[in-house]
Structure 1
Amino acid sequence: MITESNEPKSRYRRYLEAVTGLLEDKKRWRQYKARIKRLPENYRMAAEALERYLMHFGPADGTGAMEMFADLADLLEQSAADGTPIRDVFGDDPVEFVETFMANYPLGQYRARERNRFISAIARAAGEDTAREDGR
């Protein structure tokens, strides 16, 4: 886990990070990309595909996303080291895998909660469900 110094940031750095995002997150992103680049080709292809999916549907904040990407790199590095086939990692339904993977992170949990709320609202609108999710 990376922690920041307790020293106050310079005015320039605060401005720069407000415009470009946290510099620590950028450093962690470069480290993640270097880790993925060292994977065997088939694991690298899977990582890049999952990364592309997460960029569209995953957490939007830098720090939460970086935690997820670091965990992804850990998973794929360990799988490659163990010789675990890609299908054994991702299963027959890669979307189910990635949705479950994302649900383990705070913003992913929000997405799952909103998805369930949406499904319940449609069921109520269709007259299939009378109980509200929030208990009202």
Structure 2
Amino acid sequence: MSIQDIIEGKKQWRAHLARVKALPPDYQIVYKEMQKYLFKVGPVGLTEGELLPGIVDFFEEGVAEGKGVLELIGSDVAAFADGLIKDSRTYAEEYQESISGDS
């Protein structure tokens, strides 16, 4: 990874965070909780993928339609996040395999 790649990645992340900050406060709170949860249990390559930007897209659409965040995702934020990553390989799975000797 070159320095230019790192700089570009930081620019993209800052732009992403600016989009999150433009959301209404209730959406920001839910997004940040989902982000924390996904960083703990989420899929391998979470930061390189389209999952987090996709969540922001979805939230922006909800705001444009005048919906509250819980109308979009339901009252169980973790269950919603789990649904997003249900078919993804997670760090927890990799860890379990490493300690059990599976490859």
| Fold-level similarity (TM above 0.5) | yes
Partner of 1:40: 24
Q: Structure 1: how far apart are the matches of 2:44 and 2:7? A: 16
Equivalent residues in 2 for 1:26-105, closer than 5 Å:
26-61=10-45, 62-64=47-49, 67-103=50-86
- TM superposition shift of 1:32: 0.8
The one-letter code of the counterpart of 1:24 is E
Normalising by structure 1, we get a TM-score of 0.57
Normalising by structure 2, we get a TM-score of 0.72
Number of equivalent positions: 91
Contact persistence 1:25–1:63 (CA under 8 A): no
Greater RCO (Cα-Cα under 8 Å, separation 6 or more): 2
The one-letter code of the counterpart of 2:25 is E
- TM superposition shift of 1:73: 0.8
Report the 3-state secondary structure (helix = DSSP H, G, I; strand = E; otherwise coil) of the residue aligned with 1:63. coil
5+ residue gaps, structure 1, are 1-12, 115-136
Q: Structure 2: how far apart are the matches of 1:26 and 1:77? A: 22
Following TM superposition, the consecutive aligned residue runs of length 4 or more in structure 1 with deviations greater than 4 angstroms are none
- TM superposition shift of 1:35: 0.3
Give CA deviations for 1:74-102 in whole Å, capped at 9, x if unaligned.
01111111111222212132222101112
5+ residue gaps, structure 2, are 94-103
**What is the percentage of aligned positions where both structures have the same residue?**
28
Give CA deviations for 1:6-59 in whole Å, capped at 9, x if unaligned.
xxxxxxx72x47xxx743332221111000101111111111111111121223
The one-letter code of the counterpart of 1:45 is I
